[in-house]
Structure 1
Amino acid sequence: MANPAGRHSSTRLVYRGAMLSIEFYVTHGGTAPAEEWLEQMPLASQQKFAALFVRMGDTGKIWNEHKFKHLTGTDKIFEFKVEADRVLCFFFVGKRLILTHGFRKAGDKTPKGEIERTEACKREFERGGRT
């Protein structure tokens, strides 16, 4: 469905490393859900996520699956993890990693609705609704 305002989603740079640019997904309405979610977290958690974003940007990899992993059964959706907190993301051409949103994981499995939310952002972004 076309955006009636003619605006597209975009991104806001979080960190530009030697290997990847880490970016917040910005909605048609101008909000960045991952950024807003991270800002409401305790400073210690924000710092842990920031360290992961820097490591990923600088090296292009985080080998520890307790910190970053592909979500099995998804269309290339990944999650950064700090304790029970998660930030979902996807890779995009041009060495870009797009952070869509965050949430606190309550059980063993990542909720389907959270994955679907990121997959919808990814589809829209890939269709050209990006800057």
Structure 2
Amino acid sequence: MKEFTAYIGEKFTIEWYSDEKEKSDVLDYFNELPDDLKIRTLVLFKKFADIGEIKDKTKFNFEGDSIFAFKPIPHRFLCFFVKGKKIIITNAFVKKTDKLPKNEKIRAIKRREDYETRSKKGIYY
């Protein structure tokens, strides 16, 4: 079993979504970022996981349909919350418009549904 933990904090654990083949394209996306953007992203993860919130909506925001976004400019990391104080990062992209691209939100929702289905069956981990 591969490990997909991004950060373990006092309030939350943040993990990268992985598919049934234990592949994580969102982790691959993160790993391709330049070091300064990786650091910026991890700072946001750490802050949320340790404190339990980020009040600045330019850094973390509710996007509707129980989907949230970490926002290290110009990138977006979509995620959802899981019982047990866990956050799953589903997908990432470069923001090019003011609105959240519909296809990215749909991808996040489908991955949340996949996570929930496989978790209920006991086959996510």
- Tell me if TM exceeds 0.5: yes
Give the corresponding residue for 1:82.
72
Q: Deviations over 1:98-121 (max 9, x none)?
A: 001110011110100000000001
**Whole-Å Cα distance in 1 between the matches of residues 32 and 22 of structure 2?**
18
Secondary structure of the residue aligned to 2:17 is strand
Task: Tell me the amino acid that sits aligned with residue 111 of structure 1.
Answer: P
Q: Does 1:19 align with 2:29?
A: no
Q: Does 1:59 align with 2:68?
A: no
Is the Cα–Cα contact under 8 Å of residues 11 and 25 in structure 1 kept in the other structure? no
Give the corresponding residue for 2:20.
28
How does 1:1-131 map onto structure 2 within 5 Å? 12-71=4-63, 74-129=64-119, 130-131=124-125
> Any stretches of 5+ residues in structure 1 without a counterpart?
1-9
Q: Which has the higher contact order (CA 8 A, sep 6+)?
A: 1
Given the two structures, how large is their TM-score scaled by the length of structure 1?
0.86
Q: How far did 1:11 drift? A: 6.7
Is the Cα–Cα contact under 8 Å of residues 44 and 72 in structure 2 kept in the other structure? no
Q: Sequence identity, in percent? A: 30
**Whole-Å Cα distance in 1 between the matches of residues 40 and 60 of structure 2?**
12
Given the two structures, how large is their TM-score scaled by the length of structure 2?
0.90
Task: Tell me the amino acid that sits aligned with residue 107 of structure 2.
Answer: R
Secondary structure of the residue aligned to 2:22 is coil
Task: Tell me the amino acid that sits aligned with residue 100 of structure 1.
Answer: T
Cα RMSD after superposing both structures:
1.4
Is the Cα–Cα contact under 8 Å of residues 11 and 26 in structure 1 kept in the other structure? no
